């Protein structure tokens, strides 16, 4: 299951904080801040989807992620590779290195990461 763009934005705040009350979410947003009801609706949808859990403290809810950031984005990237690059990581890597404005240093860092992955396999 996927998150909408606004749900992903809210989830990114929760991943950074690890646990958050409504006031924490409101503090994280720049002006103009979303309405409390908007955040509450997003949190309800994310809870229903299984991305967010909460603990009750009186009438307040402290929210926490049920899905790790790396696991979510790994699944998301794998979906992009499958849907847009014929399930070919090589096609994705070729596109990524050609179409993004990576510096020579960044490309060399990527090479080191790939070389280390080859050694580890």
pLDDT, residue 98, reads 87
**Domain span holding position 9:** 5-65
pLDDT attached to residue 89: 87
Last residue of a domain, one of 65, 85, 106: 65
The per-residue pLDDT for 101 is 86
Q: What is the CATH number of the domain that holds 57?
A: 1.10.10.10
Say yes or no: 80 and 33 in one domain: no
Cis peptide before 32 (omega within 30 of 0): yes
Split into its structural domains, the chain has a count of: 2
- Clarify whether residues 56 and 31 are in a common domain: yes
Name the residue with tokens 């958050």.
Answer: 20
DSSP state of 77: H
Residues 6+ positions from 58 with CB-CB distance below 8 Å = none
**pLDDT tens per residue across all 121 residues of the chain:** 789 999 999 999 999 999 999 999 999 999 999 999 999 999 999 999 999 999 999 999 999 999 999 999 998 888 889 988 998 988 988 888 888 888 999 999 999 999 999 999 8
75 and 108, same domain (yes or no): yes
Q: Are both 13 and 26 inside the same structural domain?
A: yes
Contact 43, 11 (CB under 8 A): no
33 lies in the same domain as 80 = no
First and final C-alpha spacing in the chain: 30
Helix, strand or coil for residue 92? helix
Residue 58 shares a structural domain with residue 75: no
pLDDT at 60: 95
- pTM for the complete prediction? 0.76
Same-domain status, 61 and 76: no
Q: Torsions phi, psi of 28, nearest 5?
A: -75, -25
């Amino acid at each position: 299951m996927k998150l909408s763009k606004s749900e992903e934005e809210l989830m990114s705040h929760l991943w950074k904080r690890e646990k958050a009350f409504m006031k924490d979410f409101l503090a994280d947003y720049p002006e103009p801040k979303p309405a409390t009801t908007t955040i509450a609706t997003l949190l309800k949808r994310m809870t229903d989807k299984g991305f967010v859990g909460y603990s009750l403290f009186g009438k307040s809810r402290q929210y926490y992620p049920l899905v790790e950031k790396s696991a979510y984005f790994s699944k998301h990237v794998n979906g992009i590779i499958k849907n847009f690059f014929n399930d070919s990581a090589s096609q994705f890597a070729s596109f990524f290195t050609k179409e993004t404005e990576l510096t020579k240093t960044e490309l060399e860092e990527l090479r080191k990461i790939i070389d280390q992955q080859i050694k580890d396999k």
